[in-house]
Amino acid sequence: MIIYDSNNKKWVETIKKLITILIPAYNEEEVLTPLLQRLKGVTGKLPNYSFEFLFVNDGSTDRTLEMLRKMAKVHSEISYVNLSRNFGKEVAMLAGFDHINGDAVIILDADLQDPPELIPRMIRYWEKGYDDVFAKRNTRAGETWFKKWSSNSYYKILQKVSSIPIQNNTGDFRLLDRKCIEALKQMRESERYTKGMFSWIGFNKKELLFDREPRAAGTTKWNYKKLFNLAVDGLTSSTVAPLRISSFFGIVISIFALLFMLFIFVRTLVFGGSVPGYPSLMTVILFLGGIQLISLGIIGEYLGKVFNETKKRPAYLINEYYSPIALRKNERR
């Protein structure tokens, strides 16, 4: 960019800030072309910045990679990381973080549910000094009431039991400054809940409201099984509250059981022994059995996490990395 330097009274050329748009893509062949068009439309109106479109191909089984290769030959902004298999969006994002060349990153879903038209506003707030400009959904068009309801109640619970505030109705669509990226790169756990990490790292946050659109094409990669897994990961990776809750239940139930035992003891002494009481005995045993199984399951969740992390495997493996921008950066050095 050419700007006028009023101190030295001359025009000087400054290097433009580079903004990386990070797009995890898993079987997204249908949306890549419209996505690129929309992105070009938006970034074309921001001549003061240069852009890098960094795609992470998360083991797609369709023509996503082929199309990326082709598109990268025509458009020099495109870089891509090709993972060795499908690792899931959370890990795909980590792979992306490791390959960002920009001064800031904007994480965007490939399916155009996150409107790229919000990008200029995000950049404006970034220039004002915010490090994490996140987009909050006003509405969730094209989603069932059950998904909305379950997601709402989940965040309420998560909010209550974990010590860090996690933003409701917020996806991964956000702009992050370089310092946030460096912070996130240090968090190497392989079972990731990135949304909790965004909150955990802190820094200057700013919220932007937007209307989330239905998918442009293709189908969602999330089903209720995957969502349940993410929900459990979210809880167990951001708080140990469930462990405490199960201890709490254990204590409360033991106290009640003790009182009941005293009551039976006294009753037997006063009125003599009696046979009835089989149904109440049965319910108590079943109830306690249930609580014990749940508590064991909760402990197992954490133990499983410990097991997976102690293996110290890399979170992902890369098959191919293509980036003209990284090449140019290395040449300059």
One character per residue 8-47, x = contact with ligand UDP (rule: CB under 6 A): ----------------xxx-x-------------------
Q: Are 319 and 82 in contact (CB under 8 A)?
A: yes
Residue whose CB is less far from Mg ion, 140 or 179:
140
| 199 contact, one of ligand UDP, Mg ion, none, CB 5-8 Å limit per kind | none
Nearest to residue 22, comparing CAs of 120, 131, 114, 87?
Answer: 114
Distance CA 197, CA 194 (A): 5
Residue from 29, 111, 177, 233 in contact with ligand UDP (CB under 6 A): 111
| 86 contact, one of ligand UDP, Mg ion, none, CB 5-8 Å limit per kind | ligand UDP
Q: Interacting stretch for Mg ion, rule CB under 5 A, among 96-104, 107-115, 149-157, 253-261?
A: 107-115
Nearest to residue 82, comparing CAs of 24, 28, 37?
Answer: 24
| 242 contact, one of ligand UDP, Mg ion, none, CB 5-8 Å limit per kind | none
Residue position matching structure tokens 């209307």: 211
Residue whose CB is less far from ligand UDP, 203 or 228:
228
- Taking phi over 0 as left and psi of -120 to 50 as alpha, with beta for the rest, 251 belongs to alpha
Query: Nearest 5 degrees, angle CA 169-CA 174-CA 177?
Result: 140
Sequence-distant (≥ 6) Cβ neighbours of residue 265 within 8 angstroms: none
Q: Is 113 in the site for ligand UDP (CB under 6 A)?
A: yes
Q: Are 81 and 318 in contact (CB under 8 A)?
A: yes
Q: Is 111 in the site for Mg ion (CB under 5 A)?
A: yes
Residue from 113, 170, 190, 238 in contact with Mg ion (CB under 5 A): 113
Q: Is 86 in the site for ligand UDP (CB under 6 A)?
A: yes
> Residue 245's CB: how many other CB atoms inside 10 A?
14
Residue whose CB is less far from ligand UDP, 89 or 126:
89
Q: Interacting stretch for ligand UDP, rule CB under 6 A, among 132-140, 161-169, 184-192, 215-223?
A: 215-223
Count of chain residues binding ligand UDP (CB under 6 A):
16
Residue whose CB is less far from ligand UDP, 103 or 213:
213
Burial class (CB in 10 A: 0-12, 13-18, 19+), 41: exposed
Q: Is 58 in the site for Mg ion (CB under 5 A)?
A: no
Task: Indicate the residue type of 323.
Answer: S
Binding site for ligand UDP (CB under 6 A): 24-26, 28, 58, 86, 88-89, 92, 109-111, 113, 220-222
